[in-house]
Amino acid sequence: MINYYDELSSEDQQKVTECVQALYRQTFLLERQYDRKTKRYQMNREYYECSKHLEFLKAYFGIMGIDVVENSQIGVIYIRGEQVIGEKLPRLATLYILVLKLIYDEQMSSVSTSVNAMTSLGEIHEKLGTYRLLKKQPSVTEIRKSLALLRRYQLIEPVDVLEEMDGVSRMVIYPTVNVVLMGDDVRALIETYTEGDEEDGESEV
């Protein structure tokens, strides 16, 4: 493993270092990301660098008991394992993830040519109301904080400016939501939230 790294050029060594840092920081790397300026999906250089050095990365993270997984079907490379310490998410962010997964599954069942879905803040809150998960209207600060966290972990990409979010504000749902939650997990968690409602509960991503 060390020999592999030492034999790389200084430029490639720097790229590998950036890949390690990116994976450890945000858990997921996407093959394609939405760019608000061009309004198109752009190829992610870091994804291809990670894919290129995947065996080295698997060995490197494996020392810490962390798996590096590439799902080329949905275009995601991610890390998993007991040693991956997730950030504590506020309850609202956790509820957003549950609903995003439901919306993603609904759209993917009717569209077979894309791995990305689109939604709006209004649709998310409507779903939360349908499942009686949102007991009171969250503050603008709570909403922005939750969306910023989900964006950091490559779960969403706001199409509109995050500071100007309202009911019609749109966002891309990335396929990483499939890695975080399976369909059955979503339904089980929804039942948990509806049965024992803890206003200040937290979870990890």
Each residue's pLDDT tens digit, 157-179 = 998 776 666 778 899 999 999 88
Q: What is the pLDDT of residues 102-120, one digit of tens each?
A: 999 889 888 666 777 999 9
Q: Where are the domains of the chain?
A: 2-80, 88-204
More confident residue, 25 or 201: 25
Residues of the chain above pLDDT 70, percent: 82
pLDDT band at residue 34 using 50, 70 and 90 as cut-offs: very high
At residue 81, the pLDDT reads: 86
At residue 163, the pLDDT reads: 65
Tokens, residue 160 = 């509109």
